[in-house]
Amino acid sequence: MRTDDSRLYFMGRIDHREDGAYFFWAASQMQARFKGTYLDITVNNRTAWGEISIGYIIDGRQGRLPLPQYNDGKDTVYRLAENLEADREHSITVFKRMSANHSYAVKDISTDGEFLPCEPQYSLSLEFYGDSVSAGEVCEADDFIGRSDPMNAACIYDNSYYAYTWQTARLLGARFNNIAQGGIAVYDKTGYFHYPDMTGMESVYDKTCYFPEGGELTQWDFSYIPDVVVFALGQNDNHNGITDKFDIDIYDEKTRRHWKDGYEKLISDVVSHYGKVKIVMLTTVLMHDAEWDAAIDEICTEMRAKGHDIYHFLFSRNGRATPGHPRRAEHAEMARELSGFIHKITTI
């Protein structure tokens, strides 16, 4: 079955082309219902770096499909499930575990039975703009809870399924878009993403394909309208790429004003497509200087005065839980707290 079949359901920023559905952002996904004894997908993968895998969930059980380097750029058929009960209804979700480490296209999905309409019902629509934590990077390194990241992880611990973003959506019964990329900051030439020519969220917030290793950059049409937009930037913004040190001083009045102006413009540009929408700003439990949170609080005050329905949310262990990426348990902690807050502001 081709991926333009109406029985499939897609979530996230998917680039639908004549030859298939192209995946770029972490947690973007395709869902299907079917009867049959096996499930195959045809994938064309482009690896940028690291050890790459596609995530999938078959009948509620999560799996991981490693993608070998030698198949890069080739249409390859992979079997995700076999020996299934023929007369039972099955479900499959194929999702992007990782961010810009790779891109891939699903060209075809097949079984020996029939596909059924997949029309999941969601009570809420969310959208996230964030960095590596929002993408779920290094979250499966559970032996390193509260510690720095393991050396030479090579992407093997990345899994967007456990990111607080997706966990929050699951707790709320929500659909979501996850515009999250490791190392990204608000501005170009800052942060760590796409070193040495660092790309900021200001240049990718409106993209579907957002990194050149994935192919030609493409625009997003903002056809997805969320109820709540979460902005989770500020962790990487103290780095301008000139040295390995944290060399952007948020305590400097001029620097602080410049950063706040850029962040406010980004938020305004995003929500201009949605009309009236609730906005939540946050940083995560990953250790950082609390002065960035103070600056975010100032942004909220300034934008609230301009009529935006905006909130600043702080986790109970905000900025002090771990020197490394949050692991699955820490993401679960964040998701519980954030979902409770979003439930509160959406039922007022």
- Domain of 188, CATH number, reads 3.40.50.1110
pLDDT of residue 245: 60
Question: In this structure, is residue 2 part of a structural domain?
Answer: no
Query: Could you give the CA distance from residue 232 to residue 15 in angstroms, rounded to a whole number?
Result: 24
What is the domain extent for residue 283? 124-346
DSSP designation for 142: G
Return the residue matching tokens 């030859």.
19
Check whether residue 110 and residue 140 sit in a common domain.
no
Q: What is the band of 244 on the pLDDT scale with cuts at 50, 70, 90?
A: low
Q: 102 with 135, same domain? A: no
Residues 283, 197: one domain?
A: yes
For residue 153, pLDDT beyond 90: no
Name the residue with tokens 């081709």.
2
Q: Are residues 75 and 170 in the same domain?
A: no
Residue recorded with tokens 């240049």: 203
| pLDDT at residue 31 in the model | 98
| Residues 101, 174 share a domain | no
What is the β-pairing status of strands 124-130 and 174-180?
A: parallel
Q: Checking DSSP bridges between strand 309-312 and strand 61-66, what pairing results, if any?
A: unpaired
Angle between helix axes 291-305 and 253-271 (nearest 10 degrees) is 50
* Chain mean pLDDT for the chain: 96
Rounded to whole angstroms, the Cα distance separating 64 from 97 reads 9
- Report if residue 192 sits inside a domain: yes
Q: How many domains does the structure of the chain reveal?
A: 2
- Identify whether 191 is part of a domain: yes
Q: Based on the domain organization, do 229 and 329 belong to the same domain? A: yes
pLDDT of 235 above 90: yes
Q: Are residues 17 and 69 in the same domain?
A: yes
pLDDT tens-digit readout, 214-230: 999 999 999 999 999 99
Whether 211 is covered by a domain: the verdict is yes
Residue 229 counted as domain residue? yes
Same domain for 235 and 342? yes
Token pair for 65 = 């499909």
CATH of the domain at 29: 2.60.120.260
SS3 178: strand
Domain-located, residue 188: yes
Q: If you average pLDDT over residues 168-187, what whole number do you get?
A: 98
The predicted model gives 49-68 an average pLDDT of: 96
The arithmetic mean of pLDDT across residues 47-57, rounded, is 95
* Residue 348 clears pLDDT 80, i.e. is over it: no
Do 44 and 105 meet the contact criterion of CB atoms below 8 Å apart? Answer: yes
Residue 71's pLDDT is: 77
Q: Residue 38 and residue 40: Cα distance in Å, rounded?
A: 7
**Distance between first and last Cα of the chain:** 44
Which pLDDT does position 243 carry in this prediction?
65
Q: Are residues 174 and 261 in the same domain?
A: yes
Longest Cα–Cα distance of the chain, Å, equals 67
What are the structure tokens assigned to 204, written together?
Answer: 């990718």
- Closest-CA residue to 260 (of 324, 187, 193, 163): 187
